[in-house]
A and B are shown apart, each in its own frame.
Chain A
Amino acid sequence: MSVSWFRGKDRCALASIGRICAVYIAFFSSSLGHAADNRLVLTGSSTVAPLAAEIGKRFEEQNPSIRVDVQSGGSSRGVADARSGLADLGMASRAPNADETDLQFFTIARDGVGIIVNTNNSVRSLTDEQIVAIYTGKIADWSKAGGAAGRITVVNKAEGRSTLELFLHYFKLKGGDVKAHVIIGENQQAIKTVAGNPGAIGYVSIGSAEYEAGHGAHIRLLPMSGVAASVENVRSGSFPLSRPLNLVSKGAPGAVARRFIDFARSRSVHDIVESQFFVPVAP
C-alpha cells in the first residue's frame, strides 16, 4: 500500500516539474520571438500608448496574422527601445531632440498640455507669470492669484516624463526650480489628485483632462494666454502648450512597421484619434 502511494507521489512530482519546465520554455521562447515578422512591439509614452493600443486592435482585425503589442513606460523609454531594437517602434509624446538624428519620427496626432484646478476653485484664469510664481513657490496662497484664501498644492510630474519636459520648456523653468507638494507619475494620478484637493493645481494632457472633466471629475482646465484649453484649439494649433505624438523608428522602419505607421496616419483611424481627444494630422 505504502509503496504504490509512494510511486504515485514520485511520478506526480516529476510530472509537475516537467510541466513547470514546459511553461518556462514556452515563456522564454515567446519573449524571444518578438523580432518575428508577425509581431509588432511598441513601447514608450503613456500618452501615446492607449491610442496606439486602439489603432493596433483595428490593425490586427485587418491583418489577422499580425499581433501588435503595446507597452507604456514614458517617451524616454520609447526612444531608448527604438534605438536599442527592443521595440519595433517607440512612442514619444514630443518632437525630436537635436541629438536624435539617427531616428525617424512619424507624427500620428497632436496633443495639448493644460493647467487644471479643482472645480471648487474660483480662479478662472492665470497668466504665465502667475503659473511660474505658483510653481516656484513665490505664490503660496490662492488669495494672491485672484482666488479665495487657501493654501496652494502644487502637483508636479516625476522626472523624465515628457509632460514635465514640455511644461518646463514652455515656462523656461529648470527641474530644481519647481517647489512641488505632490509628485505624480501618470496623467490619471494627477487628475485624481487635483479632483480630490480644492487647493491643488496640476498639468496634464488636455485630451485626458477634457475627457475626465466631461465624465464628472472635479477638475477645470484653465485657458492659456487667453486661448481656451480645448481639443479644438490644439487641432487648430492656436493653443500654445501643445505637442506632437510620434512613432519612432531607428532608420527606415521594417515592412510591417511601415504599414502600421501608414495606417496610424490614415483617415481610417480618425475616429479613434478623436475618441481619445487627440487631433489627427492627416488631411
Chain B
Amino acid sequence: MTLSNRSSSSRSRRDTRLVAAVATAALGSSAIFVLIVGFLLKESWPALSTIGPARFLFDPAWRPTEGLFGLAPMLSASLAASVGAVILATPLGVASAIFCRHYAPPPIGWIHRWSMALLSGVPSVVIGLWGLTAIVPLIGRFEPPGASLLAGILILTVMITPTIALMSGAALDSLPDAYGRGAVALGLSREATLAHVLLPAARGGVAAGILLAAARALGETMAIVMVSGNVVQAPLSLFDPVRMLTANIALEMAYATGSHRASLFVSGLMLTALVIALAAAAWRLSGDHCHG
C-alpha cells in the first residue's frame, strides 16, 4: 500500500500513457472493421441504388453481363453447406471434447487435443487440395461429377470440427471443480454427471463455439472453390454441384467491371451481415463480454 502511495503520481501518469496507447491500438483495429464495412457499402452502392436490393434476391439467374443478378441460389448454397457442416461437426466436436477431458488416458487425450489444435491451423488451400484429389473422386465414383454440395459439407466439417472441439473443451475446463465433485457426492454416474450437470453448465461456451464455426464455414472460400463444383444453381440434392457466395467472389472478382463488380460487392455485404449476426449471437451466448 505504502509503495503504491509513494509513487502514485508517477504511476498515474504512466497509467494515462498506457491507456492512451492501448486505446489507440484498440480503436485502430476496430476502425479497420468499420472501414471495411464502409468500403463494402461504398463499392456496392452503385448496384444497390440502380439495380435495387430486391432483384438480388428475386432475379431468376446469375448472369451479370446480361443484366440478371439473382444471388438467391448462391445464398441458399452457402447456407445449406454451412448448416450441413455444423450438423456433422457439432456431435464430432463435442464428443471429442468430452473424450479428451473425461474418458481418454492422459497421453492419448493430450495427443488428441494437440492434433485438434493443429488441424484448426491447416491452411484451407491444403484441405481443399486434399478434397479435390481424395473426396471428390470418391463421391464421383458413386454419383458423378463428385464436386458437389456433399463434398463442400465434408470439407467444411473437417475445417470447423476443431473450432467446436476446442471451444467446448475450454468451456468444460472452465467449470468449477465443485460441480463434478458435487455430482459424485450425490452418487451420479460419470455419464449422468456429463449429461445432466457438466454439459448443461457449459452450454453457453459450446453454443458460442458452434456459432463461430458456422461463421467460419460461411466465410470459407479457397477449399470450397476447389471441391463444390461452382455451378450456379439452387442445391436440390447433396450431389448437385453448387456455387457459394464466397466462391462467386473469388472466381469472378478478378474479371468483373461496372455493375458486375458492384454486384459482387453486394454478395460480400450479404456475407458480412450474416457473419456479424452469427458473431453477435456467439458473443451474447458466451457471456464473456470482453475476449479481445
The chain A residues found within 8 Å of chain B, CB to CB, are 1-3, 6-7, 9-10, 13-14, 17, 20, 73-74, 76-77, 80, 150-151, 153, 155, 158-161, 175-176, 180-185, 189, 192-193, 196-197, 199-200
Contact = CB atoms under 8 A, between A and B. Distances in A.
Contacts of A189: 132, 226
B153 interface: no
A159 B261 CA distance: 13
B4 A2 contact: yes
Given A2-B4, A182-B229, A183-B243, A197 B251 contact: no
Nearest to B61: A176
A159 B241 contact: no
Contacts of B225: 185
A234 B43 CA distance: 43
A159 B144 contact: no
A79 B144 CA distance: 37
A153 B256 contact: no
B137 A196 contact: yes
A111 B230 CA distance: 26
Interface stretch (B16-24, B70-78, B278-286): B16-24
Given A13-B18, A153-B144, A159 B65 contact: yes
Interface in B216-233: 225-226, 229-231
B231 A76 contact: no
Interface in B137-158: 137, 140, 144-147
Contacts of A183: 229-231, 241, 243, 251
A153 B132 CA distance: 15
A275 to B, nearest CB: 24
B115 interface: no
B251 A158 contact: yes
B7 interface: yes
A138 B3 CA distance: 88
B25 to A, nearest CB: 6
A177 to B, nearest CB: 12
Contacts of B147: 181-182, 193
A17 B226 CA distance: 39
Nearest to A185: B251
A175 B133 CA distance: 28
Contacts of A7: 14
22 contacts: A3-B4, A6-B14, A9-B18, A10-B18, A73-B254, A76-B254, A153-B145, A153-B146, A155-B145, A158-B230, A159-B65, A175-B63, A175-B65, A181-B144, A182-B230, A182-B241, A183-B230, A183-B231, A196-B146, A197-B140, A197-B144, A197-B145
Q: How large is the interface on B (under 10, 10 to 19, 20 to 34, 35 or more residues)?
A: 35 or more
Contact of A151 (B14, B25, B133, B144): B144
Nearest to A74: B254
A180 B255 contact: no
A3 B8 CA distance: 9
B148 to A, nearest CB: 9
Contacts of B243: 183
Contacts of B7: 3
A158 B3 contact: no
Contacts of A185: 225, 250-251
Contacts of A159: 65, 251-252, 255
B11 interface: yes
B66 interface: yes
Contacts of B136: 193, 196-197
Given A13-B22, A189-B226, A176 B251 contact: no
A14 B145 contact: no
8 tightest A-B contacts by CB?
A: A160-B255, A196-B137, A153-B145, A183-B230, A158-B251, A181-B145, A76-B255, A182-B147
B144 A192 contact: no
A176 B66 contact: yes
Nearest to B250: A185
Interface in B89-141: 129, 132-133, 136-137, 140
A182 B257 CA distance: 24
Contacts of B4: 2-3
A208 to B, nearest CB: 16
B254 A196 contact: no
Nearest to A174: B66
B3 A1 contact: yes
B21 A13 contact: yes
A196 B140 contact: yes
A74 B255 contact: yes
A153 B140 contact: yes
- Which of A9, A189, A199 gathers most chain B CB within 10 Å? A189
B229 A2 contact: no
Given A14-B21, A153-B145, A199-B145, 18 more contacts: A1-B3, A7-B14, A10-B17, A10-B18, A13-B18, A77-B255, A153-B140, A158-B252, A159-B255, A176-B66, A181-B144, A181-B229, A181-B241, A185-B250, A189-B132, A193-B145, A196-B133, A196-B140
